[in-house]
Amino acid sequence: MTDPVSIVVESGEQVSGLLQAPSDALACYVLAHGAGAGMTHAFMAAVADGLAERSVATLRYQFPYMERGSRRPDTPKLAQATVRAAVAEASRRMPGTPLIAGGKSFGGRMTSQAQAALPLPGVLGLAFIGFPLHPAGKPSDDRADHLAQVSVPMLFLQGTRDELASLELLQPVVDRLQALATLQLFADGDHSFHVPARSGRKDSQVMAELLDVLAKWIGSVVR
């Protein structure tokens, strides 16, 4: 069952959310969307549905620009404030339930920036579904500098063909974070975890593997 929620950001803006909470939830994943598609995108819904089947609740939510129908992402300040508001709403609606935060691409990066600036109350770990280390065709690891300020466990779920995260740059980032970081690679997956037919696998198989890894990691962090 998915319940609509309303989240008030400190800026005074209000955004929509979707809480999907199985009765046996061991944790709640506060799940932010990527830059180009909102919380109702098929990928986001598949993550929420799959985690519910694996006893993990999710709170999906919109960033203000997506709520307004704009294509221009919010400033980092507003995006981070929205992350904080969503985490607070998850805590209010699921008191006593351990929290994990993160999301797809842009949403994951805004979550990590918020955590690095000031720890998110009650959040025990961060999970990134395709961390956008750099723009396509412009390899750099500058976007990872703030991760050194994060003091909770982090999970990086990455496709090996992700044009926004060169493995030659991402692997050293994860190595520098040492025991706090776990990198799980998905062979032939792109930034959306799509795999070509020649891989011999289907996108649905990759998604199932991703959800298994994510749910297992969440369980290890909250128990």
Is the pLDDT at 11 greater than 80? The verdict is no
pLDDT of residue 64: 97
pTM of structure: 0.96
Q: What is the pLDDT of residues 15-61, one digit of tens each?
A: 999 999 999 999 999 999 999 999 999 999 999 999 999 999 999 99
* Cβ atoms within 10 Å of 98's Cβ, excluding its own: 18
Backbone φ/ψ region at 147: left (φ over 0), alpha (ψ -120 to 50), beta:
alpha
3-state secondary structure of 158: strand
Provide the residue range defining the domain that includes 176.
2-222
Query: Looking at the 3D structure of the chain, how many domains does it have?
Result: 1
12 pLDDT band, cuts 50/70/90, is confident
Q: What is the pLDDT of residues 128-179, one digit of tens each?
A: 999 999 999 999 999 999 999 999 999 999 999 999 999 999 999 999 999 9
Counting every residue, how long is the chain?
223
The CATH number of whichever domain residue 84 belongs to comes to 3.40.50.1820
Q: Which residues of 154-190 are buried (b: 16+ CB within 10 A; e: fewer)?
A: bbbbbbebbebbebebbeebbeebeebbbbeebebbb
Using CA atoms, how far apart are residues 149 and 167, in angstroms rounded to an integer? 22
